[in-house]
């Protein structure tokens, strides 16, 4: 199940990058072919419709969205300086597209690695041994503050002691 969840997000990000390539082919490579221009428009619409989901999927990896300085023309030779989100505006200009593509590629790599970890027995052993830590992370307890780190360690020790106690009692029952 874990594999399917991560591989689905990997494939989604791969589709986003392909749509971005299609968009660029029709806009920036002097596409004279009408089919390329239409495909580019459709890809741009698809990306705009999926931008919120894209941002959610990327930010779930822990990768931070980059903010980019943008000069917005306001008319009469003047421009207004704005700081904009790379993932929210990556169809705006080529510089932002490069940054967004880099972020999406890193997120895609994260999901690929996580999907492949699903087949490694050592990952599952580590997951079971450190189950309380994983559960606290799942519930949103951040381990960076000192109090939360101590709390995670206390839960971890209690879990290990309970596991040893349970295994010992199971062993005694099986001997008799």
pLDDT tens column, 116-154: 999 999 988 888 888 888 777 777 776 667 766 777 788
Core vs surface per residue 3-21: b (16+ CB within 10 A) or e: eeebbebbebbeebeebbe
Q: Are residues 128 and 109 in the same domain?
A: no
User: Which residue, 124, 137, 94, 103, is CA-closest to 17?
Assistant: 103
Q: Are residues 106 and 132 in the same domain?
A: no
* pLDDT (mean) for 8-33: 84
Q: Are residues 148 and 106 in the same domain?
A: no
Provide the residue range defining the domain that includes 11.
Answer: 2-117
Q: Are residues 111 and 125 in the same domain?
A: no
Q: Are residues 99 and 126 in the same domain?
A: no
Q: Are residues 68 and 148 in the same domain?
A: no
More confident: 17 or 145 = 17
Mean pLDDT of the chain: 84
pLDDT at 31 over 60: no
Q: Are residues 40 and 7 in the same domain?
A: yes
**Number of structural domains in the chain:** 2
pTM of the model: 0.74
Digit-coded pLDDT (tens) for 157-170: 888 888 888 888 88
Q: Are residues 39 and 68 in the same domain?
A: yes
Which residue is it, tokens 């830590």?
A: 133
Which two three-digit tokens encode residue 39? 């495909």
Q: Are residues 49 and 108 in the same domain?
A: yes
Q: What is the pLDDT of residue 4?
A: 93
Q: Are residues 96 and 14 in the same domain?
A: yes
Q: Where are the beta strands (DSSP E) in the chain?
A: 67-75, 78-85
Q: What is the pLDDT of residue 19?
A: 92
DSSP, residue by residue, 26-57: HHTS----HHHHHHHHHHHHHHHHTHHHHHHH
pLDDT at 106 over 90: yes
115 contacts: CB under 8 Å, gap ≥ 6: 2, 3, 6, 7, 10
Which of 63-67, 92-96, 133-137, 147-151 is least confident? 147-151
């Amino acid at each position: 199940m874990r594999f399917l969840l991560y591989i689905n997000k990997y494939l989604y990000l791969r589709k986003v990058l392909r749509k971005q390539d299609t968009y660029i082919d029709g806009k920036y490579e002097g596409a004279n072919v009408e089919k390329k221009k239409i495909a580019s428009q459709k890809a741009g619409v698809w990306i705009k419709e999926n931008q919120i989901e894209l941002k959610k999927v990327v930010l779930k990896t822990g990768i931070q969205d980059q903010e980019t300085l943008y000069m917005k023309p306001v008319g009469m030779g003047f421009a207004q300086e704005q700081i904009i989100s790379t993932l929210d505006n990556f169809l705006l200009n080529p510089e932002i597209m490069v940054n967004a593509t880099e972020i999406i590629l890193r997120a895609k790599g994260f999901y690929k690695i996580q999907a492949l970890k699903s087949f490694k027995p050592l990952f599952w052993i580590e997951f079971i041994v450190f189950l309380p830590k994983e559960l606290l992370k799942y519930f949103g307890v951040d381990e960076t503050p000192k109090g939360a780190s101590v709390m995670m360690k206390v839960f971890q020790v209690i879990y290990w002691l309970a596991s040893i106690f349970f295994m010992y009692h199971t062993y005694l029952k099986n001997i008799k």
